[in-house]
Amino acid sequence: MKKLVLLGGGYGNMRVLRELLPHHLPEDWTITLIDKVPYHSLKTEYYALAAGTVSDQDVRVSFPEESKLNVQYGEVTHIDLDEKLVHVAHSEPVSYDQLVIGLGCEDKYHNIPGADLYTHSIQSIGKARDTYQKLNNLSANSVVSIVGGGLSGIELASELRESRPDLTIKLFDRGKTVLSSFPERISLYVQNWFASNGVEVVNEANITKVEEGVLYNNDQPVSTDVIVWTAGIQPNKIVQAMDIEKDRQGRAILTPYHNIPQHEEVYVVGDCASLPHAPSAQLAEGQAEQIVEVMRKRWNGQPLPEEMPSIKLKGTLGSLGKKKGFGMMADRPITGRIARILKSGVLWMYKFHKG
């Protein structure tokens, strides 16, 4: 039997599984999925897990149970492209005939002293749980600073506002307004929501140093009880350590068929891949569909298209607590309750395999 090995059971590889099983995997192939966590984790909801507004179980989805799928739990430590081996902590190395690397991303601290030591994270389920503990154990009227006013910082700040009305929440953002790459209507809507809900947005922030309980904005100290970092991401360290060509963000540069050059047997999906759009779950899934299309054509001895079509994205949706939201759908800005309902609908469809 030949072996397709999937590293990481995130949005990208879950889509690979859903496209291949049960009917589209050739008779003589099996799949091994390796993840350090024993379920698929809904990373897009980690802001709510950290804020304490959803339970741990709400952000887990079981891996599929199929006779041709072997799920192995363990931490990948190294990928050996020459020997076609994946090294896993405390286990024998796993060999592969084909590999899809979908290990997601981690925080990027931009070399800011102390940021890696004194801030909390929502980039993995374990870290989001730790952040939940820190935030929810805070005594009344404590101060929380969130660094980074992108989608995840905004969602965390607003969800925490609803979860803990007693806290002072500060959101530090580099731009003149939050979401400065979105249409003005959206950034103003979000900025106004924060103003009317008592979240202090610090625009044009420049965090220069972090110490225990102190954040330095433009070198001015800001006392704070908990600091959460949402100000940048980079690919998983396993991919960072690979001796392959990478883009400026450290993501793997791929052929049009999503392979590592000179390694037609190795695909990279999701946040670890250099793609022409910002990383997102939606992008990881769209790319995974193309990867499966390429795999199936190769298995069937069919020619590949000269060019792969661009990956179609449906839009972006963000939440402002449980009642309000914002986003871009088909290039049109939407705000308010309808955006929030749409976001909940997308999550429901994803969880119950309707999307």
**17: enclosing H helix or E strand:** helix 11-20
Q: Across 258-350, where does the E strand assignment appear?
A: 259-260, 263-268, 315-320, 324-329, 332-336
d(CA 130, CA 256): 39
Among 32, 121, 131, 152, the residue binding ligand FAD under the rule CB under 6 A is 152
Query: Between 17 and 205, whose beta carbon lies closer to ligand FAD?
Result: 17
Nearest-approach distance from CB 335 to ligand FAD, in angstroms? 16
Nearest-approach distance from CB 106 to ligand FAD, in angstroms? 8
94 lies in the site for ligand FAD, by CB under 6 A: no
235 lies in the site for ligand FAD, by CB under 6 A: no
Query: Between 209 and 322, whose beta carbon lies closer to ligand FAD?
Result: 322
Instruction: Of 155, 106, 151, give the one whose Cα is nearest residue 316.
Output: 151
289 phi/psi in degrees, rounded to 5: -60, -40
Query: Between 9 and 114, whose beta carbon lies closer to ligand FAD?
Result: 9
Q: Which residues contact 57 (CB under 8 A, 6 or more apart)?
A: none
Fill in the DSSP letter of residue 239: H
Residues 283-302 that bind ligand FAD (CB under 6 A): 284
Instruction: Single out the segment in contact with ligand FAD by CB under 6 A; choices: 20-28, 41-49, 61-69, 295-303.
Output: 41-49
Q: Which residues contact 209 (CB under 8 A, 6 or more apart)?
A: 112, 113, 114, 216, 219
76 lies in the site for ligand FAD, by CB under 6 A: yes
Among 75, 162, 289, 293, the residue binding ligand FAD under the rule CB under 6 A is 75
Q: What is the DSSP string of 22-68?
A: TTTS-TTEEEEEEESSSSEE-GGGHHHHHHTSS-GGGGEEPPP--TT
Among 279, 286, 321, 325, the residue binding ligand FAD under the rule CB under 6 A is 279
Instruction: Of 118, 308, 134, give the one whose Cα is nearest residue 223.
Output: 118
Please count the residues of this chain forming the interface with ligand FAD, following the rule CB under 6 A.
Answer: 33
Query: Between 73 and 216, whose beta carbon lies closer to ligand FAD?
Result: 73
Residue 265 has, within 13 A of its CA and on its CB side, a CA count of: 14
From residue 256, how far is each of 260, 274, 304 by CA, in Å? 10, 11, 10
Nearest-approach distance from CB 223 to ligand FAD, in angstroms? 26
37 lies in the site for ligand FAD, by CB under 6 A: yes
Instruction: Single out the segment in contact with ligand FAD by CB under 6 A; choices: 111-119, 147-155, 163-171, 251-259.
Output: 147-155
Helices (H), 277-336: 281-299
217 lies in the site for ligand FAD, by CB under 6 A: no
109 lies in the site for ligand FAD, by CB under 6 A: no
148 lies in the site for ligand FAD, by CB under 6 A: no
Among 5, 8, 147, 334, the residue binding ligand FAD under the rule CB under 6 A is 8
41 lies in the site for ligand FAD, by CB under 6 A: yes
Binding mask 314-353 for ligand FAD (x = CB under 6 A): ----------------------------------------
d(CA 98, CA 295): 9
Nearest-approach distance from CB 63 to ligand FAD, in angstroms? 10
44 lies in the site for ligand FAD, by CB under 6 A: yes
d(CA 115, CA 209): 7
From residue 47, how far is each of 43, 102, 149, 153, 329 by CA, in Å? 8, 21, 13, 8, 22
Instruction: Work out the end-to-end distance of the chain between its first and last CA atoms, rounded to an integer number of angstroms.
Output: 32
Fill in the DSSP letter of residue 145: E
Among 5, 6, 11, 207, the residue binding ligand FAD under the rule CB under 6 A is 11
Among 20, 33, 43, 169, the residue binding ligand FAD under the rule CB under 6 A is 43
Residues forming the site for ligand FAD (CB under 6 A): 8-12, 34-37, 41, 43-44, 46-47, 75-76, 102-104, 122-123, 151-152, 155, 236, 238, 270-271, 279-282, 284
